[in-house]
Amino acid sequence: MTRGRIGEFIERFRSLKQRVLLKWFGEAFPKIDDPNIRIQQWFPQLGILAHRNTKVFVMHGGLQSMFEAVNFGVPMVGVPIFGDQNKNVKVLVSKGMGIELSKKNFTAESLMWAINEVESNPRYIEAVLKQSAILKDVPMRHLDEAIYWIEYVIRHGKVLQPASVHMPFYQVYLLDVLSFIITAIVILYLILIRAVRALRIVLRKQKKKVE
Amino acid sequence: MTRGRIGEFIERFRSLKQRVLLKWFGEAFPKIDDPNIRIQQWFPQLGILAHRNTKVFVMHGGLQSMFEAVNFGVPMVGVPIFGDQNKNVKVLVSKGMGIELSKKNFTAESLMWAINEVESNPRYIEAVLKQSAILKDVPMRHLDEAIYWIEYVIRHGKVLQPASVHMPFYQVYLLDVLSFIITAIVILYLILIRAVRALRIVLRKQKKKVE
């Protein structure tokens, strides 16, 4: 983002009644004398999401961040950059937990609109609280479950092993499948070569006949 | 089984020091005056397997029976008849919980040998008790788990739904895939017909030339 463009965003942030915490990658981040805007290279994200005054989370659609926001019931504005982020933001939009802003459409104006929409329209917070309740509704606490299955293996010995433990290395690395495929290709290639040669000879003979 | 062959089995059962409970399909089952042998069309299988004096379970490898035997720690002699029974008995043998007798090899003599082996060699009961411990080692009682997930759906509404709920009927029944495959086959067929026709015409012309 150019320095001019970030200035545009900062101007808009000033007009917001909410405080803005801006995570800024890169060394030199702009100096802003505004008690409502705070720019840092790193924030304690989990703690901020857990805070009851946190209203909107603008994020790039990382799965970890999404789970953290859902856990604490914070609606989102997702701006996917690459990879699985597109899919994650599609999911969050389909569940009604926020809004997607495409990278191409990411302007100070569109961001302001999205933040205001997500903050003022109660349907986003309602949806994220519903998903939060589903996420937290588990038959066992996660730590207890992890401990249970670790102790399960300790109790019973050779259980919950992947099938690869009992396979020779050439099966694990699919060398047997690979060698079959290579052999098949080589044989097909040889057959093809011979067929083409045979066809050529036949055609040459026919040509001579015709002449 | 012919009446002669079943007589052979009964003779052998008489020589056993254990009591024999024989489940007999079909109307007319042989009359036997032996307090150690009991023939019935139906037994309360679960109760018998639960009895501490039950030593060996001769069965056809049904999954349900196998789970019941493992649950109560009774080693087995498996005589698979068809279908998944072959696979089930292979599993029980691979876990050391019993012996497989093939249908072809199922004689009074082989059965006596198998029963005696499973009953006298402690490795079968040890193996089945080990598997029994694993089977019973679950993080939640099964009934509690079933109740939990039923109440989970009641709490959250439209959750744990199969994808087919949100699909049009032609996708559920794969009609779109089917119509694509049929169209592809029809097109290929038409191309093939035209190609063969074209080839015939070319060959006929060449033949004429040669003549």
Contacts of B145 in chain A (CB under 8 A): 139
CB contact under 8 A, A139 and B137: no
DSSP character at residue A31: P
Question: pLDDT averaged over consecutive 10-residue blocks of chain A (211 residues)?
Answer: 75 88 78 85 94 95 96 96 95 96 93 95 97 95 96 95 94 96 98 93 81 68
The percentage of chain B sitting over the pLDDT mark of 70, rounded to a whole number, equals 97
Superfamily of domain B3-138: Glycogen Phosphorylase B; (3.40.50.2000)
User: What ipTM, to 2 d.p.?
Assistant: 0.75
Q: Are B103 and B125 in contact (CB under 8 A)?
A: no
Q: Phi/psi class of residue B31: alpha, beta or left (left: φ > 0; alpha: ψ in -120 to 50)?
A: beta
CATH architecture, domain defined by A3-142: 3-Layer(aba) Sandwich (3.40)
Whole-number average pLDDT of chain A: 92
Rounded to whole angstroms, the Cα distance separating A112 from B193 reads 63
**Which chain A residues are Cβ-neighbours of B158 within 8 angstroms?**
none
- pLDDT tens-digit profile of B42-90? 899 999 999 999 999 999 999 999 999 999 999 999 999 999 999 999 9
pLDDT in tens, A12-34: 888 888 899 988 877 677 777 88
Nearest to A140 among B130, B139, B159 (CB): B139
The Cα of B209 is separated from the nearest Cα of chain A by a number of Å equal to 7
